Amino acid sequence: MNKFIRSNRHKTVAALLLPLVTIFILGGCSSSPEDKPIEVQAQSFDALRDTATAVISDPERANEAVGLITQFEDIIIKTQIDRAEHRARIKALNADYDATETEFTTLLANINEEQDANREIAVDIRRKLALAVPASEWSRLVKALDDTRGESFSTLQTAN
């Protein structure tokens, strides 16, 4: 009789715990992070634009800086899209059993050219931004730009 009672207790405990465990598991699976990487990036660039507007005393130069910051954001987004496409192209070529070394070399050379072009555009935008902002205001703006660039590149890493 004692084995029967003990056996039924285990079944009762299991019957009570199973729904609780299921609820915890499903609850954990359905949760999502508060901020997605793309939202964090957008917030960072919005903050940078706000900083430029606040730091730069001349409204015309502030508008020019905001436009350049938007261009910088666009090149970051383009870089993210390009990176995903590059990975897909490499994966597809790698899956091709008959792919030659020349095909890999050509693909990687093309990817390097695209990445170099994006870098040149980003450097040019930063150069234009430096020319548009007086030295007295540049130090505060460049600190915000570096913070945003760091967040954007870390976002780029987590997105891929």
pLDDT of residue 3: 52
CA–CA distance, 99 with 92 (Å, rounded to integer): 10
pLDDT of residue 103: 94
- Torsion sign (Cα): 65, 67, 72, 77: positive
Kindly report, residue by residue over 134-160, the tens digit of the pLDDT: 888 888 777 776 776 665 545 444 444
| Single pTM value for the model | 0.64
Kindly report, residue by residue over 56-109, the tens digit of the pLDDT: 888 999 999 999 989 988 998 899 899 999 999 999 999 999 999 999 999 999
Closest CA to 126 of 53, 52, 54: 52
pLDDT of residue 42: 82
Provide the residue type at 34 as one letter.
E
Average pLDDT over residues 123-138: 87
Average pLDDT over residues 40-61: 86
pLDDT of residue 20: 45
DSSP 8-state class, residue 51? H
Q: Give the C-alpha distances (Å, rounded to integers) separating 153 from 37, 90, 147.
A: 10, 21, 10
